[in-house]
């Protein structure tokens, strides 16, 4: 009679459980979805500081940028010279996309405005695509409290002048409609550096991005290394489709600061 196989001890079982949990989480994060926390206000009012979401990584296929960087370890850094994508999918104008900054390789999130071959310009705050002004309709005011926000404790910029701590910080709210018919909201605090630009001709294989908070966004209107400039296709990480939950405090773990109206909120 064969001897019975000895059962693993509790320490070994715990080790195996943790190993497989981390392995599965790593596969999901690398191939399917990657968590992302919004640290700045460049995409207000569409996204707020403290929004937590999962980025759809299979929407555009995979490149070196699809690999997560964990504690400074860049697992796919060896492939940076390859500018292709596996199972490539074409981004659509108006998509909200996480991408690697072409210079710093930090994660950025902005709205895709210019496709390869497009000519993009901003005149007096009005966006033009291929020589045609994008329709822009006034839609009231976006109001928030003038106070430190998120872990970076940055205060918002206001369109209603200098306001005191705890006062209403207002910005003009507009609805823009892209040529393909997608509409979304943008903010405006008045004419600034990015409200009058030259014509940007988007090269083949690259994209032009802008933040919805137009006067508080470092995006493709500004040159690298401080600005974003044109973003190569291989630097795209994935598409943001919805907010899972949102924290108005300094940490996503502070559940008492979660915003009740932003659970599973679709992004437009």
Active-site residue numbers?
42, 110
Residue 58 backbone class (left: φ over 0; alpha: ψ -120 to 50; beta: rest): alpha
d(CA 215, CA 243): 23
Half-sphere exposure of 239 (CA within 13 A, CB side): 16
d(CA 78, CA 80): 6
Q: Which of 120, 84, 111 is nearest to 205 (CA)?
A: 84
Neighbours of 154 (CB within 10 A): 14
Cα separation of the two ends of the chain: 67
| Count of positions (residues) in the chain | 268
- The single residue listed with the structure tokens 């470092």 is 218
Which residues are CB-neighbours of 24 under 8 A, at least 6 positions away? Answer: none
Give 153-159 contacts, CB < 8 A, sequence gap 24+: 153/250, 154/40, 154/41, 154/49, 156/41, 156/44, 156/216, 157/189, 157/215, 157/216, 158/189, 159/188, 159/189, 159/190
């Amino acid at each position: 009679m064969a001897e019975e196989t000895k059962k693993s001890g509790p320490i070994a079982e715990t080790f195996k459980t943790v190993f497989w949990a981390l392995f599965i989480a790593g596969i999901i994060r690398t191939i399917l979805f990657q968590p992302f926390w919004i640290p700045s206000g460049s995409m207000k009012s569409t996204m707020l500081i403290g929004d937590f979401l999962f980025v759809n990584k299979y929407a555009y296929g995979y490149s070196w940028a699809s690999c997560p960087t964990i504690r400074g370890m860049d697992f796919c850094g060896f492939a940076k010279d390859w500018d292709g994508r596996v199972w490539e999918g074409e981004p659509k104008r108006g998509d909200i996309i996480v991408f690697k900054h072409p210079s710093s390789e930090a994660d950025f999130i902005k709205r895709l405005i210019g496709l390869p071959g497009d000519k993009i310009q901003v005149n007096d705050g009005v966006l033009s695509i291929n020589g045609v002004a994008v329709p822009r309709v006034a839609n009231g005011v976006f109001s928030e409290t003038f106070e430190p926000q998120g872990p970076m404790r940055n205060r918002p910029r206001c369109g209603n002048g200098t306001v005191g701590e705890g006062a209403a910080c207002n910005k003009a709210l507009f609805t823009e409609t892209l040529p393909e018919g997608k509409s979304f909201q943008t903010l405006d605090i008045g004419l600034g550096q990015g409200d009058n630009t030259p014509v940007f001709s988007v090269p083949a294989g690259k994209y032009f991005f802008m933040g919805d908070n137009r006067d508080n966004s470092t995006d493709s209107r500004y040159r690298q290394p401080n600005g974003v400039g044109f973003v190569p296709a291989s630097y795209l990480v994935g598409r943001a489709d919805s907010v899972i939950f949102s924290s108005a405090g300094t940490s996503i773990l502070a559940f008492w600061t979660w915003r009740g109206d932003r659970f599973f909120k679709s992004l437009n």
